[in-house]
Structure 1
Amino acid sequence: MAALRPNTEPTERPRQDGGDESIAPMPRWVKVFAAVLAVLLLAFVVMHLAGGGFRGHGS
């Protein structure tokens, strides 16, 4: 019985642009949600660095 060798040869040639057709493009709503989240996070950080701080309502 012959010894089995692992398949080390690629089944397909890699694409020149490095893309992978099996990965679906990101939906627009995901990009919009990420952009809005980034803007809110940036505004939060800027407000607290500018002196908005973590003060209570009565301060």
Structure 2
Amino acid sequence: MADPSRFPEAGLGLDRGSTPPTPRWVKAFAAVVVVLVVLWLALHLTGRSLGGPGSHTPVGGLGGDAPFGHRGPAPLEGGHG
């Protein structure tokens, strides 16, 4: 039997404990994904989502029943707004 200390290059492929380092692009991609998930979660929890059923509703909550160009309740007669 050969002495492994005499032929160190013979055991190079057998070491299963070491793995190659993670490429930089994988780390950057993971960081971008984490940032986007945190941003989505923050927007979702604050009610300011990026899409969905209520995304086109005006801030006043008039919904889709308001006529085009309607900006709120009409001023009272004789009033100045």
The interval holding the TM-score normalised by the smaller chain is: 0.5 to 0.7
Unpaired stretches in structure 2, ≥5 consecutive residues:
1-16, 58-81
Secondary structure (helix, strand or coil) at the match of 1:30 reads helix
Following superposition, which runs of at least 4 residues in structure 1 exceed 2 angstroms of deviation? 53-58
Aligned equivalent of 1:52: 48
- % same residue: 41
Say how many residue pairs are matched: 39
Structure-1-length-normalised TM-score: 0.56
Aligned equivalent of 1:25: 21
Q: Which has the larger radius of gyration?
A: 2
Unpaired stretches in structure 1, ≥5 consecutive residues:
1-19
Structure-2-length-normalised TM-score: 0.42
